[in-house]
Structure 1
Amino acid sequence: MQTVLISGGGIAGPVLAHWLHRRGFRVTVVERAPAPRPGGQAVDVRGVALDVLDRMGLLDRARRVRTRMRGMSVLGPDGHEIDRSTEATFSSGRLDSDDIELLREDLVRMVHEHTRAGVEYLFGDSVTALDEDGLGVHVGFAHAASRRFGLVIGADGLHSTVRRLAFGSEEHFARHLGSYLSVFGADNFLGLEDWQLWLRDGDAGFGIMPVRGNTELRIAFGFESAPLAPELRDNGALRDRVAGRLASLRWEGARLAEAARDAPDFYCDAMAQIRMEHWSRGRVALLGDAGYCPSPLSGQGTSLALVGAYVLADCLADAPGDHRAAYSRYERRMRDFVSLNQALAVENFGGPASEASVEHAKNALTLDRWDAEG
């Protein structure tokens, strides 16, 4: 039985683990966090990615926990409404769409619960070394004893450790998109009821949506910035910077800044894409954001992760013992789909891509087409 190590226990990693386990692989998932990560923004599952959830038996469950927005208001810098819609929101698109918007933490929990019985999980640990030879990859861990695996998959996000160890420094592959995004939760101090608010003030802006039966808020705050120096990228420095920028806003800046300072789930990172000529080297391959992050500006990171996991598992199962052929086929199947979805992030800087572009990109791959291609 072939052994596979997947680094990353978010969405892409556990979904790949599910499909590999079903196809007879012995799978281990290592995740730096001590448990499935809470927090995070609402994410979208669109187009062909819905088929992946359906084939996992999770589509109905995902629909039950989807967000239920009635619409949105667009505010001027002073908080006065300048536009509104009851047909669409910036975060999810058309409200009458079959696509699903749900909290990232709900999807993470869902896929973990669905896979934990057949997959070994190593929480609170991380990969520190990869040493490949003719028999496999000898993997060093921060805490667990080193082990040998037949294959290693990096599904460990934008700042992938597996990518760095196997391919080199992130700076060779990351494309900064000129801004940073912070996401954090707060009590619903605005009293929103299934209604989003969006505001832009100069080179910064935010989207706010109520969640958990309107008892909580998820706040997504973005601000334009060149890449920050390494010493400014730790969580404490970023939190201070975000709180300071929020405090300067003319509407609700003080309360938003206080929420950012107090949030236990505070997150902030650069809006960036990963562009690579190849997603595999030897027995190591990359999946999702680790290999082809489209950035949250695309709205398609989760869908790329789901589809990529399904395709990679099928390619590995279809070429037993021949990882080179499997990885090559995986790249051929996914490359155009990835390019179209990454393009959504840069089609309309400062706003969402057109409905036509999203519709085309989200459906630009059919899960079963690889069978016909041979």
Structure 2
Amino acid sequence: MTVPLLVHTHGIGGIDFSSMVPSALADVEQHAVRRGVHLVPSVFLERSYIDRFSEVVRAWSADRERFPSVLGFSVEGPLLGRSGGVPPRGIWSPSAEEWERICELGPHGLRYIVMGPDGGDLDDVLEGGVRYRDIVDLCYANGVRIALGHFRHTHPELSAERTRELIDYVHHRYGPSPDVLLTDHLFNDMPRAFRHVWRTPAERAARDGERAAFLAREWHYETLPELLGPVPAALVRAAHDEKLLPFLNFDGDHVDLAICRRTAEFLGTGRIIGITDDTEIPVLAGETLHHREGNHLWYRSDGIVAAGTGFYPRQYANVLGLGLGEDGVRDMFHTNPRRALRLPVARAEALVR
């Protein structure tokens, strides 16, 4: 059976990946081995953490044989919209020099960077004095994939237009392949035309009727913008057209499982990467997190969702419960992420359940 690869996870054991030090790598490895998983730790990158993060990545790269369960790193931000659960210190606009320092970690194991695609047009000069197009090219020159996510919520049509522009640019310049471009968590932290989850007891009281009304409408390529909204429609269409691979969370708290199933039925599990977007500790990039009644999510002090607690066994059970089968699990948590991040296929005696 296959070893699951978790490509979007923020903490394990007592370790917050967004503030870890090189000496923590051994503990991360041990935790991953005990859970039977491989990891690509995801970091919210504060400006003050660049030096330490570079030390972590380079320490892993120099001695990676000691950490066979850690298969690289990813960065969430810092070029993100401000509407979602991103630590405020993790949203900023790097200078050209800072972008070079971040992207030069690509050959050492930085696999992808999550960035909002709607902060400007490709030729716009951003706050840090760098053109958006130049950031994209710098990432790919260093072997770093881009994952689209954390959108602005003010002008959905403009966000969708800029998203399509970036998708086409990457696809034609660095493709053609769905593996050259990723998304962050599909349906989360983006403007939508539908309710994607019912988290509180009050919301769940209305879930059956609202969800049934939404699912009663069949998904067709041509009508996705009306059904989903311009931004999620642009991403789902691009995934359908094999221009990118979207991440989708199957914990049931980030996205309702019935909507996950409809998405997987429309795209096929060969066009999705499953993620956990979780942490095991109530700290994320220096912020203290807490739970709220009715779900398993971590929340910030302002009530915004920061991360989940749905570690891999719950994802595994939910995917099977949706009828997507062991092949679906293998596609979304093993084959697809390894292929997209150019990692070798790994084998183990048993899949963690």
State TM-score, norm by structure 2.
0.27
Structure ranking higher in strand proportion: 1
Scaled by the length of structure 1, the TM-score of the pair is 0.26
Return the index of the structure with the highest Cα Rg. 1
| Larger relative helix fraction | 2
